[in-house]
Structure formats: structure tokens, C-alpha cells
Amino acid sequence: MANGDTPVIHSLQELADQFNKLIPQKTLPAAPDTTVPAPTGPVQMEDYAAKGYHLNVCVQPDQVVGAAGILDSHGFALDAVTGVDWIAANEMEVVYDYFHPMNSWRVVIRTRVPRGKPEVPTISKVYPGADWHERETHEFFGIVFLGHPNLTPLLLPEDADYHPLRKDFVA
């Protein structure tokens, strides 16, 4: 905005509508087998008491930066970035957790990438605090955050060539 103020979002539905503009319905990733939960739509309102978040948004990898930009423009903060290994589907999922400090809203952004080439753009240019979250996710799941300024080990030894949170990891 011209005066530097955060635009006011009056409801989660308004936010959901902005995501629906970013994400055409046809871009919804489909799970290749029935053992992996598949989202029913790219933007879903959720029961916070049951799920722990209010809005669940599934995007393609090239849309994570745009999704982060929407949330940043409305005053959301980044809480966490992590991975999920859907080994049966041969996919990795990146999960971004956001919260709004004034409204207490929680939003989850999810994207899936192939296990063989787990790459997604970094959001560290939008949320600089994502830097170490992405480093940790890279380290433990092997997900590469394209454009990240420093994907060096954070917790594992510098010479570690393994990703201990992948389901096929053997110590």
C-alpha cells in the first residue's frame, strides 16, 4: 500500500478468495495412489479445533512464493517450514505454517514435489526467517530450496550425505 500500512483482511473467506485467484482449480496435485491422503481442493476452510489451523492451501511448487507474498502483505508471520515423506506416492511435501498475530488465524500452505527431484523455490526473500527452516528441511528431508542463499548443514555434520527423516533412511 502507498502509506506502508498492511491491507486489512476482514475474514478468512477474503483471504481464501485471494488464494483462489492465485491457484486455478486445475493445478491441484493429485495423489497417485489411495494410501496417500489427497486434498479435496486447493483452498479449504478448516475447523481449527479439529485441525489446528483455519485455512489449508495446496499449491504447485512455483506458487509458494506468491502464496507467501499474499500472507506477508496481510501481516502473517512464518511459524515453521517442514517436510513430509510420502514414500508410497514417491513424493515429498513441504509444509509452511503461518499465523496472524492480531487475528490468531493459522494458515497452512502445502506443496508436493517428486522424491527423485525434490525442488521448490525459497521463500527466504519474502520471509528472511525462512532461511534456517529451509536449511533444516533440506538437511533432514533432502528437499532443495532453489535460490536459497546458504543451504549448508545446520544440525548434522558438514559431511553428512544422508537425510534422516526420509522414510527409507537406514542408520
Query: Cell digits for 67?
Result: 502464496
C-alpha 131/C-alpha 151 separation (Å) is 8
DSSP class of 25 = G
- State pTM to two decimals: 0.85
- In this prediction, residue 159 carries a pLDDT of 86
Asked if 50 and 103 count as a contact pair (C-beta separation under 8 A), the reply is no
Give yes or no for residue 45 having a pLDDT over 90.
no
C-alpha 121/C-alpha 144 separation (Å) is 8
- In this prediction, residue 26 carries a pLDDT of 52
pLDDT tens, 109-153? 999 999 999 999 999 999 999 999 999 999 999 999 999 999 988
SS3 71: helix
What domains are defined for the chain? Answer: 12-29+39-129 (3.30.460.80)
pLDDT greater at residue 138 or residue 36: 138
